[in-house]
Amino acid sequence: MDAIEIENLTKNYNGTAAVDSINLRIKQAELFGLLGPNGAGKTTMISMLSTILKPSSGNAKINGINISYQNSVRKLIGIVFQDPSLDDELTGMENLTFHSKLYHMPHELSKKRINDVLKLVDLEGKSKMLVKTYSGGMKRRLEIARGLLHHPKILFLDEPTLGLDPQTRRHIWEYIKKLNKEEKITIILTTHYMEEADYLCKRIAIIDHGKIVALGTPKKLKSSISSVKKPTLEDVFIWYTGHAIRDYEGPELDNIRFRARLGWKR
């Protein structure tokens, strides 16, 4: 059984498709990346899979359970949102305790698990501090710890390193790799950082205007374009979408230059 099965999943907002008939399968314990610019539909897709949003049409299953069975799906998943979602007025420990109560975890198990996840993200010594005194990286690590607390089978990470400095970003990458390897959790992360997708993900789906335009391992995707020697993932992205991810809203001249370098003819 695949961890995630998506069939023709669509979400429309006022007649515009934010996610447009997506079909996708993600294997158990896979570290899968959704790569695309802001507004490509990544967060909308994650929101549907995590039962926050109802799809306009189509279907998806999480570990064989249809996403319309909200509570059953919610027990299986953990999610780290793109925007901060911690209570700043509580301590790290209190945020985790509150989460354990939301997931009806028995007291003893909750205590053990909180210690385990705090250890995993190196926040043991800081758990009694108010979250408002944490740095951006510490908050992100606490959110990851919270997402893992109830032992989810599948973890969604929505832009996990957005706005973090390069050093903290590296640390978070190592945690994600460690999680996937040691806890055998299926991880689906969205990102618009090429190096992040390249470094972390076993497979990547390039998503643009709500559609998957390319799917495969970073190696396979890179080998699919022959016009450039040693292509990067950025070259792959431009090849399939016709624009650069970071210059998505930038001058068209830049995009033309990028496309010319690749010999892009479509």
Partner 1 sequence: MIRFIRARSRIITSLAMPFFWLIFIGVGFGSVVTEMNYINFLAPGIIGMIILFTSIFSGMSIIWDRQFGFLKEILVAPVSRSSIMLGKVLGGATIAVVSALIMILITILIGFIPISIGIVPAVIFMILTAMCFVSIGLIIASKMKSMEGFQMVMSFLIMPVFFLSGALFPLENTPQWMQTIAYFDPLTYGIDGLRASLISHSIFPLWLDLAALLLFSTVLVLIGACVFRRM
Cα distances (Å, whole numbers) of residue 40 to 16, 17, 22, 94: 12, 10, 12, 35
The reply on whether position 99 binds partner 1 by CB under 8 A is yes
Task: Supply the minimum distance, in Å, between the C-beta of residue 49 and partner 1.
Answer: 11
The reply on whether position 90 binds partner 1 by CB under 8 A is yes
User: Which of the residues 165 through 204 are near partner 1 (CB under 8 A)?
Assistant: none
Cα distances (Å, whole numbers) of residue 49 to 6, 32, 115, 177: 9, 14, 29, 22
According to CB under 8 A, which one of 7, 68, 88, 250 is a site residue for partner 1? 88
CB contact set of 32 (below 8 Å; sequence gap of 6+): 26, 186, 187, 188, 189, 201, 202, 203, 204, 205
Kindly indicate which of the ranges 56-64, 97-105, 206-214, 245-253 contains the residues binding partner 1, using the contact rule CB under 8 A: 97-105
The reply on whether position 66 binds partner 1 by CB under 8 A is no
The reply on whether position 71 binds partner 1 by CB under 8 A is yes
According to CB under 8 A, which one of 43, 44, 50, 190 is a site residue for partner 1? 50
Q: How far apart are CA 138 and CA 122, in angstroms?
A: 9
Cβ proximity of 102 and 75 under 8 Å = no
Site residue total, partner 1 (CB under 8 A): 25
Task: Supply the minimum distance, in Å, between the C-beta of residue 35 and partner 1.
Answer: 23
Task: Supply the minimum distance, in Å, between the C-beta of residue 255 and partner 1.
Answer: 33
- The contacts found for 36-41 with CB under 8 angstroms, 24 or more apart, are 36/190, 36/192, 36/206, 36/207, 36/208, 36/245, 37/192, 37/208, 37/245, 37/246, 37/248, 38/192, 38/248, 40/192, 40/207, 40/208, 40/209, 40/210, 41/11, 41/207, 41/209, 41/210, 41/211
**Nearer to partner 1 among residue 117 and residue 236 (C-beta):** 117
The reply on whether position 225 binds partner 1 by CB under 8 A is no
Q: How far apart are CA 159 and CA 173, in angstroms?
A: 12
Kindly indicate which of the ranges 22-30, 32-40, 95-103, 116-124 contains the residues binding partner 1, using the contact rule CB under 8 A: 95-103
The reply on whether position 136 binds partner 1 by CB under 8 A is no
According to CB under 8 A, which one of 1, 15, 83, 167 is a site residue for partner 1? 83
Kindly indicate which of the ranges 9-17, 56-64, 102-110, 254-262 contains the residues binding partner 1, using the contact rule CB under 8 A: 102-110
If residue 157 lies in a helix (H) or strand (E), which one and from where to where? strand 154-158
Task: Supply the minimum distance, in Å, between the C-beta of residue 72 and partner 1.
Answer: 8
Task: Classify 84 as helix, strand or coil.
Answer: coil
According to CB under 8 A, which one of 5, 56, 84, 259 is a site residue for partner 1? 84
Kindly list the residues in this chain that would bind partner 1 in the complex (CB under 8 A).
Answer: 50-52, 70-72, 74-75, 77, 79, 81, 83-90, 94, 99, 102-104, 146
